[in-house]
Structure 1
């Protein structure tokens, strides 16, 4: 079954998929299926598309005077690192680890990341179940969902 799902996802033009449609796709897959399809080139495409959309999903009116670098470590077949910088009501994202010290670092597996960014995972529950690890400013991490328009499936 995961191969069919993987084939379907591989064929998707992610740039044409709305956040709500993406949330529905993620909601329809188990954690095992999500982990299974997040392999190779498809994994990179999905991660780059999700992080690429963060700027559009950003809600500057909710960020106020927040000044923070958030480092995301997504574990899976390899560890991928992305950073989100929120400064002066703007959000920028870049792939890779910078030399700057992050205010908070979030570490999670592929399935947990997809559930979190698609509105299908509760960050508090994920943290309590140790599916999401947080280093640094836990209060900032807890409030991150306020700063982004998270789709609902």
Structure 2
């Protein structure tokens, strides 16, 4: 299966991670600037509460905004996750003030959420930027079980 054939809603996470791993950056860029962008992002974010690690959340209460760039019009799509009382929920829209806002390019985001790129390396290389509670940034990767490709 190749990136153009990907329907993220029908693929198990591990299989989707393998497709991303086998795909070139150009193929991933085409996916994330094409007609399937919204479906891919929506599916990734819909699945996030299911891979949330409540046992690692402790007393964390935060509103997390993910700004995924490289939209064809030059903009970014923003998704809001609310972490409270050891749960994670996806908001229908970003309407709260974020505790932390993470900005990242679409290809790097896709690689990161499929276990094909390290969030720490992306942050250190300036490919992911944080605004707000910077200390919480270090906790975010440990709050989710990322598939291993």
Aligned to 1:68: 62
Counterpart check, 1:140 vs 2:136: yes
Residues 88-115 of structure 1: per-residue CA shift (max 9 Å, x gap)? 01110124321x2211100011101101
Alignment gaps of 5+ in structure 2: none
Check the 8 A contact 1:105/1:136 in 2, yes or no.
Answer: yes
State the Cα RMSD in Å: 1.6
Give the TM-score normalised by the residue count of structure 1. 0.88
Give the TM-score normalised by the residue count of structure 2. 0.90
Aligned to 2:50: 56
Query: Secondary structure of the residue that 1:72 maps to in structure 2?
Result: strand
* Residue 15 (structure 1) shift: 2.5
**Mapping for residues 61-100 of structure 1, pairs under 5 Å:** 61-76=55-70, 77=72, 78-98=75-95, 100=96
Aligned to 2:28: 34
Counterpart check, 1:121 vs 2:100: no
Alignment gaps of 5+ in structure 1: none
Number of paired residues?
146
Higher helix share: 1
